[in-house]
Amino acid sequence: MSEKLQKLLARAGFGSRRELEAWITAGRVSVNGRVATLGDRVEESDLIRVDGRVLSRHRKAGPRRRVLVYNKPEGELVTRSDPEGRPTVFENLPRAGGGRWIPVGRLDVNTSGLLLLTNDGELANRLMHPSSEVEREYAVRIYGEPSPEVIKQLTEGVELEDGFARFDSVVDAGGEGTNHWFHVVIREGRNREVRRLWESQGGVVSRLIRVRYGPVILNRALRQGRFQDLPPPALKALLEAAGLPDEPEKERPASRRARHKPQGRTARPGKRRR
């Protein structure tokens, strides 16, 4: 059965569908010797090249699906490299094994907390797409105490420079002195949307932490700068939130190296050693 080229490449772990559409437009992908175009559909038997390299049958089937939960500290960028040499989240992650880690949405440099990363581009695309309406929950510290009128306005909606936006809910989480905590829920991933909503009402955000993405809740025992694999029950719930079936792993031919390599101990969740 044929499928869209960018979907197959996403399953193979090259990136999200949006990234791969840009690769196709840039002429980096060919099918059966012809430069691919957006809208192309392919079969697994087609000869596909990415940057001149043939995509193997093993790679087309996709790597074993994994999702990492990473507790991002402030000061790290969600980018693969930074011209200014600032630290990135990818410096602390393990190897993806046959693909690459795709961040599910982004957190700006001053935002900490839950960041999901996966080697499954289709899963990443579904979780980020506005039509999925997957909830994101943030703990936000505001300077001062917003009035009930401000809270009402934030849940009814505000017109920002890139369109209408609102919080699904705003829950008072208490606080002391001049700082007050709230938990807010939003179903989009627009750039700095949580901060911009508060700022539209004169609010000053002094701290922002993502604590939940869909059914995945940040484990308080997971230290900042550390990661852990999402366990199967939680992965199944995440797939359901994304509208994807929990399909059994496909049989893939083992490489010669894998067949003869002795099985080692499972690595502890944590920070990758450099």
Q: What is the pLDDT of residues 99-158, one digit of tens each?
A: 789 999 899 999 999 999 999 888 998 999 888 899 999 999 999 889 999 999 999 999
108 is catalytic: yes
Q: Which two tokens stand for residue 126?
A: 């579904």
Contact in structure between 223 and 266 (CB atoms under 8 Å): no
pLDDT at 217 over 70: yes
According to the model, what pLDDT value does residue 247 have?
61
Other Cβ atoms less than 10 A from the Cβ of 249: the count is 9
In this predicted structure, which of 27-36, 108-117, 170-179 has the lowest mean pLDDT?
170-179
What is the phi/psi pair of residue 160, to 5°?
Answer: -95, 175
According to the model, what pLDDT value does residue 271 have?
53
Count each helix (H run) and each strand (E run) in the chain, helices first.
Answer: 8, 17
Q: How far is CA 240 from CA 70, 177, 212, 215, in A?
A: 21, 42, 16, 9
Residue with tokens 């105490």: 145
Residue 101 DSSP SS3: coil
Contact in structure between 182 and 154 (CB atoms under 8 Å): no
Parallel, antiparallel or unpaired: strands 204-213 and 112-118: parallel
Mean per-residue pLDDT for 194-207? Answer: 95
Domains of the chain in start order, with CATH, are: 3-61 (3.10.290.10), 67-130+216-242 (3.30.2350.10), 135-213 (3.30.2350.10)
Averaged pLDDT of the chain = 86
According to the model, what pLDDT value does residue 254 have?
41
What is the phi/psi pair of residue 37, to 5°?
Answer: -130, 160
pTM equals: 0.76
Residue 258 makes CB contacts below 8 A (sequence gap 6+) with none
Query: What is the Cα–Cα distance from 73 to 264, expressed in whole angstroms?
Result: 31
Catalytic residue among 108, 168, 172, 246: 108
Mean per-residue pLDDT for 212-222? Answer: 96
In this predicted structure, which of 5-9, 29-33, 164-168, 234-238 has the lowest mean pLDDT?
5-9
According to the model, what pLDDT value does residue 11 have?
78
Query: What is the Cα–Cα distance from 79 to 262, expressed in whole angstroms?
Result: 35
